[in-house]
Amino acid sequence: MTKKILITGGAGFIGSHVVRRFVKKYPDYSIFNLDKLTYAGNLLNLTDVEDAANYKFVKGDIVEAEFINDLFRTHDFDAVIHLAAESHVDRSIASPMDFVMTNVIGTVNLLNAAREYWKGAYDKKRFYHVSTDEVYGALGETGMFTESTSYDPHSPYSASKASSDHFVRAYHDTYGLDVVISNCSNNYGSHHFPEKLIPLAINNIKNNKPVPVYGKGENVRDWLWVEDHARAIDVIFHEAKTGETYNIGGHNEWKNIDLIKLLCGIMDEKLGREAGTSEKLITYVTDRAGHDLRYAIDSSKLQQKLGWVPSLQFEEGLKKTVDWYLENEKWLDDVTSFNYQSYYEKQYAER
């Protein structure tokens, strides 16, 4: 094995795509997936790689410092790709402390373990922190976030991610840890938990339930195909210089209401419904508190320096996403009924 990599949060939406990519593309790497299996962690996302010789799942909580230290003591990891987080803005408004614990304390625990157990060999190790464009705050009608945009987070979620980014940079500046950070825009694709806008809308339209649109639906998000994000992480992990930050985004801005209408049209077509049927489910609801108006990422640094470009046009990606959810009804039913949560006991507890 040429590299032993600890990927945190690998049972979640983006993490499962990253784990799958690394396990399949790099058979000579040894991939450890550390995940607490919160409501967002689902091992059914990874059934296609769970028996691979270069893959190991470890259930655990990054908030537990002793556990993390033991893990680093036992395994001489060459690198960490850190995705584990509480990730949903609405939940952060309801329970901010969960976000402080996992996103801030959990990240610092990992940094401390890396610092302690990698001592003296930082040039051969790498700590990759996966972050979000939300740390930059909100844009008006124009402009884009670059890597030098000042941090201005507004939600407890983005404040916790901003804090974790600062700690990662501080460990580079203070202790010389080899770190890289990427800040990505909104992802979409398969295995996305149906509390987030796109999978929630797909599920509700499928079940003829109201599709909640916050406020007037005028907020803008910049959507990126999740596999393009995983590919960017791969490139940055292997090629970025130490201490660098890269923005990742799709150059693909959509007002929420326009996106939902596009999705309604696709769903009508796929479900054989008369055009206009699904749009009738759109229901305007009370706006999210502190709702950021617009995000847009300038990813030209990543495109120019490392040659990454998004691969998929949005309408095509959205159709693929809808197809995946319609073909994977059992996944959706298990997730919405929380049936997937016993999968660990059935498949792993005995191993």
**DSSP strands (E only) in the chain:** 3-8, 29-35, 55-59, 79-82, 126-132, 179-184, 186-188, 211-214, 220-225, 245-248, 253-255, 282-285
- Say whether 316 is catalytic: no
Residues of this chain, 91-150, that bind ligand NAD according to CB under 6 A = 102, 106, 130, 132
- Say whether 157 is catalytic: yes
CB of 139 to ligand DAU, least distance (A): 12
Nearest to 259 by CA among 198, 302, 190, 309: 198
* Interface with ligand NAD, residue 187, by CB under 6 A: yes
C-alpha to C-alpha distances, 142 to 62, 138, 288, 297, nearest whole angstrom: 38, 11, 22, 11
Tokens of residue 35, six digits: 């995940």
Tokens of residue 160, six digits: 């916790």
- Answer with the entry of ligand DAU, ligand NAD, none that 102 interacts with (C-beta below 5 to 8 A by kind): ligand NAD
C-alpha 97/C-alpha 157 separation (Å) is 10
Q: Which amino acid would we find at residue 4?
A: K
**Which lies closer to ligand DAU via its Cβ, residue 49 or residue 259?**
259
Residue 336, φ and ψ in degrees, nearest 5: -75, -20
Tokens of residue 116, six digits: 């302690």
* Interface with ligand NAD, residue 13, by CB under 6 A: yes
- Answer with the entry of ligand DAU, ligand NAD, none that 200 interacts with (C-beta below 5 to 8 A by kind): ligand DAU
**DSSP strands (E only) in 19-113:** 29-35, 55-59, 79-82
CB of 174 to ligand DAU, least distance (A): 26
- Say whether 165 is catalytic: no
* Interface with ligand NAD, residue 38, by CB under 6 A: yes
- From the candidates 157, 246, 340, 343, which is the catalytic residue? 157
Distance between start and end Cα atoms, the chain? 22
Residues of this chain, 253-272, that bind ligand NAD according to CB under 6 A = none
* Interface with ligand NAD, residue 156, by CB under 6 A: no
**Which lies closer to ligand NAD via its Cβ, residue 83 or residue 144?**
83
CB of 158 to ligand DAU, least distance (A): 7
**Which lies closer to ligand NAD via its Cβ, residue 72 or residue 281?**
72
- From the candidates 35, 61, 86, 134, which is the catalytic residue? 134
- Answer with the entry of ligand DAU, ligand NAD, none that 219 interacts with (C-beta below 5 to 8 A by kind): ligand DAU
Nearest to 126 by CA among 139, 114, 108: 114
Residues near ligand DAU (CB under 6 A) are 87-89, 132-134, 185-186, 196-197, 200, 212-214, 219, 221, 256, 288, 295
- CA dihedral of 249, 255, 256, 258, whole degrees rounded to 10: -120
**Which of 19, 22, 31, 35 touches ligand NAD (CB under 6 A)?**
35
Q: Report the catalytic residues.
A: 133-134, 157
